[in-house]
A and B are shown apart, each in its own frame.
Chain A
Amino acid sequence: MVVLRRGYSVPEHVSMFAVGAASLGAVYPAVLAHTGWPGLPCPLRTLTGVPCPFCGMTTATVALSHGEWGSAVAANPLVYLAALLVACTLPVLVARTVGLAGGPRPWPEAKRHQVRLAMAVVVALSWLFQLHRFGFI
């Protein structure tokens, strides 16, 4: 049986994940230093040498959570997009959680298509950035 529950919107889900990732990012260097664990490598870069569009996100998240703005953007500028998303959706998320706002309403398909297209462009640009960062272009 499928139970329909009040959910959160996609930006809110991504924001919740980003907040969790930033919290982990704050303690991540200490965990690595304490355990000697090298951290999670990108399998694509490990296997082929070619970075993926999301390479550097861990470094960028850790840098941003420690206030190292320049290091964050140098590793992956996508982290600023995630931070902007969190800043914009957090008030809505809090309002919804405490019951001040109702459930999210689905966007029209045309608008969702526009967002998907915009995200595809952002990911493509991020890949170009990473390819440049690792000396491929």
Chain B
Amino acid sequence: MAYAADSSAISPAAYANWGQRVGAYLIDYLPIFVLELIAIIFHNPIVFLLFALASLAWWIYNRCIQAGNTGQSLGKKTLHLRLLSEKTGEPIGAGMAFARDICHILDSLACYIGWLFPLWDAKRQTFADKIVGTVVVPE
């Protein structure tokens, strides 16, 4: 199913809402938060470096490879959401998922307002979603 042709033809309810997206995001970053917390508790630079590398590996696997190739990171899978191209309705691939996460920097630029876009946007897209042409939909 393609999502680009006519935004008025698809109800905003066809897209994941802001709360669901925040929930998925928090689940995605929970392992990294736990790892960093443990590293802080150990207070050892070697442990910190190892855990930072583990966090990076988790981010690449979960947010780029899994979300890009299947449309579902751990968070999206848990909350039954899927990241798709708004043009093709298919998963966007690891490269574009990586680019999307980099574009999330722009969501943060003006007091993080880009992260709130799904509250009022017709397709419930963040600013990063608009740049890379993605939508998040419930399964």
Contacts and interface: CB of A to CB of B under 8 A. Distances in A.
A30 interface: no
Contact of A43 (B1, B10, B17, B109): B109
B85 to A, nearest CB: 14
Interface stretch (A51-59, A62-70, A91-99): A51-59
B11 A13 contact: no
Range, interface on chain B: 20 to 34
Contact of A44 (B11, B17, B109, B120): B109
Interface in A4-23: 4-7, 10, 13-14, 17
Interface in B1-20: 1, 8, 10-14, 17-18
Given A10-B120, A17-B116, A4 B111 contact: no
B138 A52 contact: no
Interface of B: 1, 8, 10-14, 17-18, 108-113, 116, 119-120, 137-139
Interface of A: 1-7, 10, 13-14, 17, 40, 42-44, 52-55, 57, 106, 109
A39 to B, nearest CB: 12
A3 B1 CA distance: 13
A52 B111 contact: yes
Contacts of A42: 110-111
A57 B116 CA distance: 14
B40 to A, nearest CB: 13
B26 to A, nearest CB: 14
B108 A7 contact: no
A17 B111 contact: no
List the 5 closest A-B pairs by CB distance, nearest first.
Answer: A7-B13, A54-B111, A52-B110, A10-B120, A13-B119
Contacts of A7: 11-13, 17
A103 B27 CA distance: 30
A54 B113 CA distance: 8
A5 B112 CA distance: 28
